[in-house]
Amino acid sequence: MYLRYLAKYYDDNAEKIDYGFFKALEYLRDHYDLSIEDRKIVEEYIYWFDHNLPIPDYYQDERNRQAAKAATSWFKDTSTLYIKRMNELFNILKRYNIEVDRISSKKLTGKKIYEDEFQVTIIPYRNNLKKTK
């Protein structure tokens, strides 16, 4: 089983709808009046993910920039600590009325471009781009 976390929010600075789970957390941290406890968790977990979740080399290669925009990353269900923390962050985003989704899939269909012990990144096949819950 694989899990993916999504967020959608209105970015006042850019005056547009923006996407991205961690981008939403950073926006929340920088623009919302968070409770002390929520701010502590958000800051601590952003730092923790930045320093513990491997970043695929794929994204660092200039030749892959365009294709990387379509790439999606999924946690393996065995990544229990990552998933536990993502669920806590998911609940914080919901508490501040950020639109969030948590989706799961038994099978990922697409071109696999990266895999480690915690996550898989794919470029979905065109006919699989529809979001399912």
pLDDT score for 88:
98
- Averaged pLDDT for residues 12-18: 80
Domain residue limits, the chain: 2-128
Lowest-pLDDT range, 4-13, 22-31, 70-79, 96-105? 4-13
- pLDDT, tens only, 50-76: 999 988 776 666 666 666 677 889 999
Q: Which helix (H) or strand (E) holds 16?
A: strand 16-19
Per the prediction, the chain carries an average pLDDT of 88
Burial, 130: exposed, middle or buried (Cβ in 10 Å; 0-12, 13-18, 19+)? exposed
